[in-house]
A and B are shown apart, each in its own frame.
Chain A
Amino acid sequence: MSTDKLIEKSEPISLCMQADLIPNSGICAELDGQQIALFYLPRESPRLYALGNWDPIGKANILSRGMVGDLDGRLVVASPMYKQHFDLLTGECLEDTEICVPVFPVSLVGDHVMLRL
C-alpha cells in the first residue's frame, strides 16, 4: 500500500522517529492507552510492522521484546514468555489459530513512523 494514500484516508499519527527503531528487533510505543510493538526489518518489504504489545497467552505486555524471524515463509515474532509465534502481517498465532493479536497500519514517512489505530 502506498504511504500517501494512507495519510489521505486516515491521517495517521507520528509515533516516533526512525532513529528510535532497532533494526531486526522490536520496540514499544504507546498511543491512546494502546501499547504497540513496532518491528523494523530493514531488508523486508514492508520494513515496518505494528502489533498489539499484549501477549494473550503469556498475559503480559511483552511482544515487542520477542525475537523476529520467519516460519514457513511467514514473518513472525516469537513471544519471549512461552515462545508462541505471531504473524507480523495478520497478528495470527501460528500455534493456536483461534488467537490473534491486533495489527495496525504503519509506515515510514520521511523520518517519522506513522501509525493509525
Chain B
Amino acid sequence: MLKVVVVGNGMVGHHYVEQLVASKVEAQITVIGGETRPAYDRVHLSEFFAGRSPEDLALTTRDHYRELGVEAHFGDMVASIDRDGKTLTTDSGQQFSYDKLVLATGSYPFVPPVKGNDLEPCVVYRTIDDLGIIQAQAKGGKVGVVVGGGLLGLECANAVKNLGLETHVVEFAPGLMGVQLDSGGSAMLRRKIEALGVTVHTSKATQVIEQDAEGEARLRMQFADGGSLATDMIVFSAGIRPYDQLAKDSGLTVGERGGIEIDYHCKTSDSDIFAIGECALFGGRIYGLVAPGYRMAEAAVSQLTDEVVAFQGADMSTKLKLLGVDVGSIGDAHGKEAGSVAYTFSDERIDVYKRLIVSADGKKLLGAVLVGDCSDYDTLLQYFLNGIALPADPQTLILPYNAGAAPALGAGALPATAIICSCHNVSKGDIVNAMDAGFCSLGEVKAETAASSGCGGCAALLKNIVDDELAARGLEVNKAMCEHFNFTRQEMFHVVKVESIKSFDELINKHGSGRGCDICKPTAGSILASLWNDYVLEEKHVGLQDTNDTFLANMQKNGTYSVVPRIAGGEITPDKLITIGQVAKKYNLYTKITGGQRIDLFGARVQHLPAIWEELIAAGFETGHAYGKALRTVKSCVGSTWCRYGVQDSVAMALYIENRYKGLRSPHKLKSAVSGCTRECAEAQSKDFGVIATENGWNLFVCGNGGMKPRHADLFATDLDDETLIKYIDRFLMFYVRTADRLQRTSVWMGTLEGGLDYLREVVIEDSLGIAAELEEQMDSIVGSYQCEWKTTVEDPERLKRFRQFVNSKAEDREIIFVEERGQPRPATEAERIQILAESA
C-alpha cells in the first residue's frame, strides 16, 4: 500500500488526513505532530480565555485517528529527511519510510531581534501551551504589552485585556493592520480600539527590554524615540515565519524570505514531497489564513487520485471582529492598481469608515475596507469575487440606508461560479446542481453540499439562493414556519380564530405534526394570547413561552433577569422613584434609565423576582412587559401643561394610550409616542404608531421604526379628535396582529402589504374589508380582560414554585458573580468569573 507520511498536525495537516481518508485512495497514513496534542482549532484559539477548554478546541483525538487506521505520533519533531532513502528521523530517533511525504509544518511567531527579548515574561501567541503560559504570567501582573498591531496582535490584545491587564499595543509601522487597511480605515480602527481602553503606540521601535529598575513593573521597554514603558508581560505578535528549516536542510527549494516553494499541484522541488498550509510559498506568497491551506490540502490529495485539481492561489479577503470592532478587508485595499478610483464614507459620530476601490472604468470592484460596520461585506465580496458589474453610482453600496442606498445583491444576479460558502468551497453552481438532482429543500441542500455547516456566516445568502431557485423552477417557496406546521403565522392565526382553538395541544393535534419547537410554540402562545388573552402562565400555556415570558423578565448574559416596571408615558411620582431605589438597593440591582423613558433594574436572581415584584406592586407598579412581544412604551413629551409651545396635553394622551394597549400580545414588540407639538420632542415619527398634537387635534403616524433599519413613520390621518384617534389605532393594531408574520415589526409589515399606505387607509378608515367593527370589538375584549401578569403570579403559590433556583435546596447559583463598577454591580466577565471561582475554591 502507498505509504503517506504527514509532518505537522496543525489545522491544514489534519484537513489533509481527513480528505485523504475520505478519498478512494488506498494509503497507509502516518502523522507526526510536533505539539503534544492532536490538531486543534487555532483560529478560535482566543476562545480559550473565554472558557473553551483544549477539548472544546480539539479537531480530532488520538482515538479518532486510531479508528481511521491512521498511525499518529505526537510531541516529537521530524529532525531530518533522507530524500534518497525516502526516510525521515525524529528528534527522539524514530525512523519512518515514505512513498509520498507531506510537509504541513505551519509557521511560528516572529520575535524581533531586540536585546532582552528572552527575559522571563516575554511570550508568544500561537499554541495552546502558549496560552497556558500567558495566563500564568498575567496572574499578579497589572500591565501587558502586545508587540505588533496586525491582525493577530489585536486579537492577542483582546485576550490580554480580558485577563484583566492594562493593555498596550506597540506597533512599528505608522498604523494598525497596515496589510489589510488603508490609512483612513486604520485611523478609525485606532479610535475604536482606544475607546475600549487599549492604549495604542504607533511608529514605535523597541530598542531594549530590561528588568524595570524603578520597580514599577517587571520589565521596561526602551523605545528609539527616547520614551519607555513599564510592563509585567510582553507578548510578541509581530508576524509569522514558516517552519522551513527541515525542508532547507534536506535541499528543497525555499523562497528567499522563507517558505517552501510549491507549484499548482502543491509539489515541492522534489515531486514526491508536498508542502501545504502556512509553511508553503505559492507564487511568492505565504497564505496566513486557514481556508487557502485547506484548498492546498485538497489539491495535494487530488494528486493521488485521477481527478486532479490545481491550487490557483486564494482570496485573502477577511472579515473579523477584533475587540468587538467589526473590520473587513477585501481585495486591493490600498488602491494600488493604476487609475483606480476610491470612494470613501466616514462618520466619526458613530465611528464608521468605509472605502471602495473601483476600476478606472467604474465597472469592477477592486477592493474595499470596512471598519465599524461590516453589514455590506457579503454583498461587496460577491461583487469582487465574481467581477459583477457595479451599479452606475457605486458609492450607494456603502452609503447608509436612509440615503437611498442600493439593495443587497439579489441571489439571481450571482453567476454560477460565485462562492457562497467559503468554509466548504460551495459555489452557487454546486447548489443549483444539488437542486437539479432533486435535493430541493434548504435542509437537503445543506446536507448534500455541506454549505453553511462551518462558521454559518453564509446561512442567509444560502437561503436566498434556494428560495430564488425554487421560485425560478415554479416550485413553491416553503413558507412553513418550522417542521411542525406548514403554516405562516398569518395562516396559523386564522386557523386558531376560525376554529376557536384554545390550546397548543389542540392546534398541533389537528394541524401539525411532532411536538413543536421554540419557533412554533411561542408563535402559537402569542396568537392564543392575542385572541383569548388568558393568563400566560396558565398550565396549558407554560411550555409555550420563551424564558423571558415564562419568568416575566428579560434574561441577561449571566442568567439573571432584568425587572422593568411600567412607567406609563415616562411620568413617575417621587414616592415611586424612592421605591425603585429601595428595591434596587435591597436586592443589589443595577439601575439604568432606558431609552424608553423608564427605569430598568438588572441582575435579579430568579428566586428574588417574586419578592421584588411584591414590593413594586405594593407601591402601585405594574409589569412593563419588557419581556413580551407586546406594547412596550408610549413616550411622551411634557406637552401643553408645562411647555411654552405645547398645543395639547400629550402626557395625558400618552398615559391613556399606554394603559389601553398594555399587555396586548402582537407579532413583535410595539412602541408608541405622543408629542405636544410639531417640534416632536417625543420622536413619535420613529414609532410603530405615533401621535403629534395639532391646533385642531391629533395627527396619526404609522409604521415607523428605530432599531436596526430605521424607518420614518407615514402620516396616516390628520386633525383627529380623541375618539377617532383611538378608533383608528384600535383597528390598525388589531389588523397588524391578525395579518403580520412572526417577528415582523409594523414597518416591515407595511412593506409587505400590497397597496401599502393607501390600502391600509382603505381598511382602517374606509372599512373596505368590512371588518372594522370586528377589529374594534376584539380590541375591546382584550382591553377589558387585561391583568397584570406579575400581580396574578405573586398571588398564586402554585405559580411561585417556578421561581425557585433549585427545587431541592435554598442555595444560590454560585456561578453568578457580580463585581462593582461605578458604584453599582455588573456581571463579572468570563475571565473574572473563572478567577473569582478559583480563588474561592
Contacts and interface: CB of A to CB of B under 8 A. Distances in A.
Given A30-B809, A35-B813, A66 B547 contact: yes
Contact of A29 (B551, B559, B807): B807
A15 B546 CA distance: 26
A31 to B, nearest CB: 8
Interface stretch (A4-12, A55-63, A102-110): A55-63
A81 B483 CA distance: 22
Contacts of B545: 67
Contact of B547 (A16, A28, A76, A80): A80
Minimum-distance CB pairs A-B, first 7: A60-B559, A80-B547, A24-B543, A69-B517, A78-B518, A67-B518, A20-B807
The majority secondary structure among interface residues of chain B is: loop
Interface of A: 15-16, 20, 22-25, 27-31, 35, 38, 41, 44, 54, 56, 58-62, 65-73, 75-76, 78, 80-81, 83, 85, 98-99
Interface in B501-529: 514-518, 520-522
B811 A30 contact: yes
A67 B543 contact: yes
Contacts of B809: 29-30
Contact of B557 (A20, A23, A60): A60
Nearest to B560: A60
Contacts of B56: 56, 98-99
Nearest to B542: A25
A62 B559 contact: yes
A28 B517 contact: no
B92 interface: no
A99 to B, nearest CB: 7
Contacts of B548: 80
B806 A71 contact: no
B555 A80 contact: yes
B53 to A, nearest CB: 9
Given A25-B543, A59-B830, A61-B813, A70 B515 contact: yes
Dominant SS among interface residues on chain A? strand
B248 interface: no
A49 B484 CA distance: 22
Given A27-B807, A69-B521, A62 B557 contact: no
Interface string B536-548: 0001001101111
B51 interface: yes
B807 A71 contact: no
B802 interface: yes
A115 to B, nearest CB: 10
Contact of B805 (A28, A54, A72): A28
Q: Most chain-B CB neighbours within 10 Å: which of A56, A80, A99?
A: A80
A20 B798 CA distance: 10
Contacts of A78: 517-518
Interface string B598-623: 00000000100000000000000000
A67 B808 contact: no
Contact of A70 (B58, B517, B546, B807): B517
Contacts of B50: 59
B801 A65 contact: no
B272 interface: no
Nearest to A68: B543
Contacts of B801: 20, 22
B551 A65 contact: yes
B558 interface: yes
